[in-house]
Structure 1
Amino acid sequence: MKKPVAEQLVRYLEDRGVTHIFGLCGHTNIAVLAALEHSSIKFVNVRHEQIAAHMADGYARAKKETAVVLCHVGPGLTNAATGVANAALDSIPMVVIAGDVPSHYYGKHPHQEINLHADASQYEIYRPFVKRAWRVDRPDLFPEILEKAFQLAENGRPGPVLVSVPMDIFSKEVDVALFEKQKRHTKTLHKPSIDDETAKHIIEKLMQAERPLVYVGGGIMLADAAEELKTFVEHFDLPVAHTLMGKGALPDDHPLTLGMSGFWGAKFVNDMCRNADVILALGTRFSEADCSSWEPEYTFNIPETKLIHIDIDPNEIGRNYPTELGIVADVKQALTVLNRVAKQTVPQGRTDEALKERIANYKEEFRRQNAPHIQDDSYPMRPERILHEVREVLPKDAIITTDVGWNKNGVGQQFRAYGAGTILTPGGYATMGFGAPAALGAKIACPDRVVVSLVGDGGFGQNPAVLATAAEENIAVVWVIMNNYAFGTIAGLEKAHFGTTHGTVFQKDGKPYSPDYAAIAQAYGVEGVKIRSAEEFKPALERAIQANKPFVIDVEMINVPTPTSGHWNIMDIYSPGKRVHHVAVER
């Protein structure tokens, strides 16, 4: 028996447990949309494909499942590219299904085809950042390609894949047996672990060390290994520092949590990393910002510090630092073995009350230094107060999404995360425009949890059409727009090094300018509030959360830099030898 490919695609996705597809229509994919009309799968309609990709990204992170994006040929595919690349650099599993030009028009340059260098080559656009890109040349090959696509996206180091489908193939009929055959293939692969001998060796190295430290990245969240991490570090009282993507792997109020390292990390955390004699690194790629541009006097002094590195991706082991012991393994599986062997070989564990007291004293001192900013009643508000009051209002399991700038850097440094996966942020690609749509995806994935997006006015302004989707679907996300009338972080950088803010601040007729985002929200049918004083903010946020509907809060914020004692080599490019960082920018 034969059926159209589009219909069988939808049945295949249903059988895989896919419940949502994010995307936008075009003449190349409407056969799939028509097949979705009577499906259990919800098609989430957007106004721009970048929104679809970021929504799918947030959904995959929150639900811990592969997300699916459906887009159109040419401009649809390129519009989605930024969001897909962001997911790729943060190792988020995603399957992008894109309509393509009709196969019988190859070589004729049909409508919206990109063929400046080769015919029917749209899929090549994604090759630099997806794990693999397929062009489906025959309808009978589509079921097998689809199965391979999901398997590749989900396994090893997760990430997006592209399946580019000529529109005529969606409408062709193939034997249902070709899709049925895929059901017999396993949907879950067993992941690599470590043996007991390796686990014993790691434990011996840590026990022999005078200043051991555990350093964790986003791989802990991807592997769902937070509980295993907590068990291991508590058994030996090991301090834990983390990357931006690793925030929340161990709760910020845990006595062994140091905080974020690198450029926006505190000096205490960077010093603990630099002075460690043995580091066990789990699920991290040692990125530039987290490692102070890899310069040894700031964050990590490897190989003086001996490094044990466990990661699912062998390409990351030894990429940025020489590794004494490199292990390719799933960190959840590795920690499971480490915990079992630790209880066997060191049943009494190890305690270090002096260490925990040092960490507690550092945290208390940080809070004391930050207190004047939190208590500042001036308006526009201090960003520290905004973050503090958001944390006070939200439940511990609330999900926060950020964009880039103060909201991302400040959240990484100052905002308490109480659970793994509660902070969703664009790490590797640092994409402006991620936070607002990612929050929609997270809320769809976790409808019973509060989701708040902390974004700047520059980031929210990238794609305000998220509000249309929120209104249509009644997705109860709260957007807090930290509005400093500028691309604030870059403005502070340019001002510090070049004495100007040209091209970085928003002005009209020489005066500060900002759209009224609350009014824009209302125009979309979403409730919006423009804050007029610091005292208004917290009650407005409480009301927004209680409303349980889409809600925009536009709050003005002074443009001050995120405080840092770390280092980023770009400062030396701008101003060699001057130790200049960001500065405040007055309106």
Structure 2
Amino acid sequence: MRQREAVFCASKYREYRVKLAGGQVIAKELRAYGVRYVAGVPGYGNSALLEGLNAPGAGIPFIRVVNEQSAVHMADGYFRACGSAMAVILPSRTGILSATAALSNCLSDSCGVILVTGDRASDDANAAPVSSTQAGAGWDTDLASGGLKQSWKVRGFSELPQAIHSAFNSVLGARPGPVHLEVPLEIQNHTDHVSSESLQNRLAPNRLRGDAAVIEQAAGVLAGAERPILLAGGGVVAADATSELNALAEALSAPVLVAGNGIGAIPHDHDLNAGSVGSMGSACGTALLRKADVVVAVGSRLSDLTGVNGGGRSVSGLAGKKLIQIDVERDEIGKRYPVEVGVVADAKSALVDLKSALNGKLTRATGARRQAFIELMRDLRGQWRSSVASKSGAHETFIRAPRPFLELRKVLHRDAIAVIGSGAVAHIAREHFPVYVPRTFLSAGASVAGGWAVPAAIGAKLAMPARQVVCVVEDSDFLQSMQEMAVSVMHCIPVVFVVFNQSGPEFVSGAVGSPAVRPSIGEFSLPDGRPYSLAFADIARSFGLDAWRVEHASQLEGAFRRALDSTGPALVEVMIARHETDAAIRVGDLQFDAA
């Protein structure tokens, strides 16, 4: 059972009617809804709530971070790793402004975060008194801006349980997202009798089922396809529907493509894994999508499906296809591409129902015709993987950007979690780091420029303490949030940070020599053109981490093993060869016939 669903049915939270302060009520409700950690920044506006976290019966650890945005990033990584919500507490609503980019990323990637802010006093002179008991009079709701899915302001003490319940129903709804609850300080401090019901009486775990007639229609279209493809987005992973996806693919003999956060929906070594599509997609995936006649898109917004043809022109990946779109939100159906059949349903239930509806519809003759498409997929996939391997620098002593991912995959467990920073490293990781288990490749959306990976990795480790967690990040990205390493030391959270120091030896036309004395746009450099580089391993040691600096490829595996064996957090600084022009393979590098 998924951890997010476990909140619905495993809680033994009984009814109570005792006298509590508002901060204690919030803490007890958070714990009852399965919140295990709270991150944030302390201040006068949330002081009573912080006291409530330490009160008997609550006992939720508070993770102090340096800035507001990092707290949201930490909760973001926590949700991606396990599917359960982590809470963020800030002193006042103005903290939302500092965390807007982080919240927007949670909203675009459907990551559930509970944000609670306080304030010195209610700013509404007409607000109901804190002791109000009139149902519905003590709190209000509005559609929020600034990257929030929804926002509430509590105006009466007695409405705290109801407001928190509404917030959790939203954050863990059909499409998760960040929600905000504002609780003025006088309500946090107010003491009164309060009662709450069992969670079983408030939350329903049932999944949204698709209309049976529509499922039958989709099965009929799919049964007649000769070149079907399943396209899995992040909704498949979020719905814990990866086994159902793979079962349908095997029943159909259909290749599976992943888009966006769908990576991990099918294991890298599965025979039907055809790669990825989108701006960070593979040439194999792009070419195969153009060949398909029917595409079943599951849990994907289809917002990033342009490819590159042989002439270098951008083309729509779904042009001329029969599209079966499955999404939990009706508004997403047909939003970007016309559909043959639209199924409004949870990904897990829809995949089960669709496979069941196909029983008796698949003929032996259809399977034989599909075999040619499978062989084409294998051929394209083989070409792609060979090309990727040839650009990895696997047999060179200097370190190209792909090489650390190859060495990491050797030493990490199959279910280890890799948290990948922004920039070119995100593209390179998708090409060179095989993913076998869902929720083990965490990468932020395009809306986050930097600073996400370090706190997100800490959140992922809090969510899955038994898993290895490695954070791979470029130096410029790392500089934006490296101060949060202190959190991993203070709370003994054993994350391994791998920092790409991009001021290594110069790489020009296949040769490596002394660092060039010439400036390059976008690099950190001194006035005379020499690279400006910080000693990240030394900085990490000053924070209290074990740290190593790697300058030769032969040192990578040993350094990674020592870091993973550390009892606490550790850092490996990797000197990456500069000015690589071919470290990452572009979609247009392989020329496939689009006809």
The 5-angstrom pairing of residues 194-209 of structure 1 reads: 194-209=210-225
Matching residue of 1:50: 69
In the TM superposition, what is the alpha-carbon distance from 1:192 to its structure 2 partner?
Answer: 1.4
- Indicate the SS of the match to 2:38: strand
- C-alpha contact 1:275 1:301 (8 A) present in aligned 2: no
Amino acid in structure 2 at the alignment position of 1:69: V
> Take 2:52 and 2:363, find their aligned partners in 1: how far apart are those partners?
58
- Indicate the SS of the match to 1:507: coil
Q: Which runs of 5+ in 1 are unaligned?
A: 108-122, 487-498, 568-587
Matching residue of 2:548: 529
- C-alpha contact 2:48 2:189 (8 A) present in aligned 1: yes
> Take 2:325 and 2:219, find their aligned partners in 1: how far apart are those partners?
13
Counterpart check, 1:3 vs 2:25 = no
> Take 1:75 and 1:507, find their aligned partners in 2: how far apart are those partners?
36
The normalised TM-score by structure 2 is 0.84
- Deviation track 1:452-496 (CA, whole Å, cap 9, x = no partner) reads 11111111111111210000111111111122259xxxxxxxxxx
Counterpart check, 1:386 vs 2:401 = no
Counterpart check, 1:465 vs 2:486 = no
- C-alpha contact 1:48 1:465 (8 A) present in aligned 2: no
Kindly tell me: are residues 373 and 278 of structure 1, through their superposed partners in 2, closer, same or farther at Cα, counting changes over 3 Å?
closer
In the TM superposition, what is the alpha-carbon distance from 1:377 to its structure 2 partner?
Answer: 5.3
The normalised TM-score by structure 1 is 0.85
- Deviation track 1:300-350 (CA, whole Å, cap 9, x = no partner) reads 454511111111122222222122222211111111211222335449794
In the TM superposition, what is the alpha-carbon distance from 1:566 to its structure 2 partner?
Answer: 5.0
- C-alpha contact 1:241 1:269 (8 A) present in aligned 2: yes
Picking from 425, 448, 451, the partner of 1:407 is 425
> Take 1:272 and 1:136, find their aligned partners in 2: how far apart are those partners?
52
Matching residue of 2:306: 291
Kindly tell me: are residues 12 and 266 of structure 1, through their superposed partners in 2, closer, same or farther at Cα, counting changes over 3 Å?
closer
> Take 2:46 and 2:308, find their aligned partners in 1: how far apart are those partners?
44
Matching residue of 1:83: 102
In the TM superposition, what is the alpha-carbon distance from 1:508 to its structure 2 partner?
Answer: 2.6
> Take 2:76 and 2:229, find their aligned partners in 1: how far apart are those partners?
31
Kindly tell me: are residues 166 and 336 of structure 1, through their superposed partners in 2, closer, same or farther at Cα, counting changes over 3 Å?
same
- C-alpha contact 1:259 1:413 (8 A) present in aligned 2: no
> Take 2:54 and 2:391, find their aligned partners in 1: how far apart are those partners?
52
Matching residue of 1:237: 253
> Take 2:438 and 2:418, find their aligned partners in 1: how far apart are those partners?
11
- Indicate the SS of the match to 1:28: helix
- Deviation track 1:428-456 (CA, whole Å, cap 9, x = no partner) reads 52442211111111111111111111111
Counterpart check, 1:513 vs 2:532 = yes
Counterpart check, 1:304 vs 2:304 = no
In the TM superposition, what is the alpha-carbon distance from 1:380 to its structure 2 partner?
Answer: 4.9
Counterpart check, 1:328 vs 2:344 = yes
Q: Which runs of 5+ in 2 are unaligned?
A: 1-17, 127-140, 505-517, 590-595
Kindly tell me: are residues 189 and 313 of structure 1, through their superposed partners in 2, closer, same or farther at Cα, counting changes over 3 Å?
same
Determine what percentage of the aligned residue pairs are the same residue.
29
Matching residue of 2:172: 154
Picking from 160, 175, 193, the partner of 1:175 is 193
- C-alpha contact 1:224 1:332 (8 A) present in aligned 2: yes
The 5-angstrom pairing of residues 89-488 of structure 1 reads: 89-103=108-122, 127-177=145-195, 180-181=196-197, 183=199, 185-288=201-304, 290-292=305-307, 298=314, 300-343=316-359, 345-346=361-362, 350=367, 352-376=370-394, 378=396, 380-427=398-445, 429-485=447-503
Q: Select between 373-382 and 395-404 the one with higher mean Cα deviation.
A: 373-382
In the TM superposition, what is the alpha-carbon distance from 1:21 to its structure 2 partner?
Answer: 1.0
In the TM superposition, what is the alpha-carbon distance from 1:126 to its structure 2 partner?
Answer: 5.2
- Deviation track 1:204-243 (CA, whole Å, cap 9, x = no partner) reads 2122122211111100111110010010010011111111
- C-alpha contact 1:6 1:171 (8 A) present in aligned 2: yes
> Take 2:283 and 2:31, find their aligned partners in 1: how far apart are those partners?
50
Amino acid in structure 1 at the alignment position of 2:149: K
Amino acid in structure 2 at the alignment position of 1:316: E
Matching residue of 1:575: none
Kindly tell me: are residues 30 and 347 of structure 1, through their superposed partners in 2, closer, same or farther at Cα, counting changes over 3 Å?
farther
Would you tell me which structure has more helix in proportion to its own residues? 1
In the TM superposition, what is the alpha-carbon distance from 1:124 to its structure 2 partner?
Answer: 8.7
